[in-house]
Structure 1
Amino acid sequence: MDEIVKQSLVKWPNVPSCTGWLLLDRRGNWRMRDEAAQASGAAGVAIRHEALLGFINRNYEVDERGQWFFQNGPQRVYVELGYTPWVVRLSVDVDSALALHDQGGGGFEPAAVFVDEDGGILFADRAQPARIAVLHDHDLEIFSDHATLADHDGSLSGEFHWNAQLALPLQGIRRDDVAARFGFVASPAALA
């Protein structure tokens, strides 16, 4: 968390939090949701300002209830999640090594791979508790190039080959079970 944010929390400790105004979409875009977007259920406008994106990513945390938030100075802005609290991009470098990076640019070392009923790929990392991230859909081809996949009765199975050192079996998971299994709240506004 930025030092200036910590100082503002000391100076103004009782600023009310807000919900519904910030969304992390399924592709890792931060979106502002005005009252009209919230009322209509729209995703909102993508934030493109690099300095603001950096500020959000540096001050993105989770509370004791599993609700993710952006600490905007003294105000806690709870985040609506399009799917998971993290969205990762998969890339291959010039030496053919795979890398995963979250929406803030941080590294993500996979410990497990899941596939949901819609074919969405999710990675859990080695942290305790494990962070869960959905793979950006633009990277599904890279994923399939490094996986041995099979389709059994409409469900995907197989394994993902992480840098020739680790074969991670694909585990099935229902999309509706992801939040409970990994301990996060997708819509803090619903709890407000």
Structure 2
Amino acid sequence: MDDLVQQAMAKWPNVPDCYGWLGLDARGDWYMRDDAVQALGPFTKSKGSRLVHEKLIAFIGRNYAPDKQGQWFFQNGPQRVYVELEATPWIWRLQPDGSIQSHVGHLARMQRCIVDEHGRLYLDTEQGFGLVHTQDVLQAANLIEAGIWVPQEVLTRELPERFAYIRSPQQAQKIQT
């Protein structure tokens, strides 16, 4: 986490959390969701405005983490901004050399490969669980066909509980209150 973020958290410890305003799609893109967008429905139906500012995206990536309940957030100074996930907390990109990199640029090592009933491919790594980016599925298929990766089958509905993440912190918050 950035030093400035940690300093702001210490200076203002009681800033309320923010829900519904930030989303991560299945391609690793961040989206801002204002009140009007949120009124149109959940993130999977109404994404909002895609972020394109490189420094803002990098800032979000450096300050992106899970809480103890498996809800992912971006620590924006003293405020925790919970992230609505279209798919998973991480979107994995396969590099030409076979290494794996997250949507925020972290290198990771695969621990296991997962495929769901729709043929979507996921990786569980020491960084956490995520979806393989659609542009990298062919390269991943080659690794599977070569026997380097051996996918385990898991139903989509079982993924959040098995890999301890919550796709919609906003919905979880509504259920709790």
Identity of aligned residues (%): 41
Give the whole-Å Cα distance in 1 for the aligned partners of 2:118 and 2:21.
Answer: 28
Amino acid corresponding to residue 45 of structure 1 in structure 2: S
Determine if the alignment matches structure 1 residue 171 to structure 2 residue 171: no
Amino acid corresponding to residue 91 of structure 2 in structure 1: V
Equivalent residues in 2 for 1:129-168 (5 A)?
131-148=128-145, 160-161=147-148, 168=149
Deviation at 1:175, TM superposition (A): 0.9
Equivalent residues in 2 for 1:89-100 (5 A)?
89-92=93-96, 97-100=97-100
Number of equivalent positions: 169
Q: Which runs of 4+ in 1 moved over 3 A?
A: none
Determine if the alignment matches structure 1 residue 188 to structure 2 residue 169: yes
Greater percentage in helix: 2
**RMSD value, Cα:** 1.2
| Maintained 8 Å contact 1:20/1:79 | yes
Structure 2 gap segments, 5+ residues each: none
Give the whole-Å Cα distance in 1 for the aligned partners of 2:79 and 2:144.
Answer: 43
Amino acid corresponding to residue 136 of structure 2 in structure 1: D
Give the structure 1 partner of residue 47 of structure 2: 43
| Maintained 8 Å contact 1:113/1:160 | no
Deviation at 1:14, TM superposition (A): 0.5
| Maintained 8 Å contact 2:72/2:82 | yes
Equivalent residues in 2 for 1:109-148 (5 A)?
109-125=109-125, 127=126, 131-148=128-145
Give the structure 1 partner of residue 73 of structure 2: 69
Structure 1 gap segments, 5+ residues each: 149-158, 162-167
TM-score by length of 1: 0.85
| Maintained 8 Å contact 1:91/1:142 | no
Deviation at 1:143, TM superposition (A): 1.3
Give the structure 2 partner of residue 165 of structure 1: none
- Structure showing greater radius of gyration is 1
TM-score by length of 2: 0.92
| Maintained 8 Å contact 1:113/1:122 | yes
Deviation at 1:37, TM superposition (A): 1.4
Q: Secondary structure of 1:55's match?
A: helix
- Deviation by residue 1:35-66 (Cα, 9 ceiling, x = unmatched): 12111130111101011011000000111111
